[in-house]
Amino acid sequence: MPSVILRDTKLQGNITQKDSITIDGIVVGDIKAEEVIIHENANITGNI
């Protein structure tokens, strides 16, 4: 099932997702997923 990190969300920590993940918020940590969709408002500090 796809996941979404919304614009007003800040997440600290690593993310592991089997399906796709859409990022529109702030992520501080590494992201591992089959597909990562990054919106223009997203801010990611970590490896993808």
Q: Give pLDDT, residue 34.
A: 96
Q: Give pLDDT, residue 2.
A: 86
Q: Specify the pTM.
A: 0.86
Per-residue pLDDT of the chain (48 residues; tens, 9 = 90+): 889 999 999 999 999 999 999 999 999 999 999 999 999 999 999 999
Strands in 26-28's sheet, in edge-to-edge order, are 10-12, 26-28, 43-45
Residue owning tokens 């920590």: 13
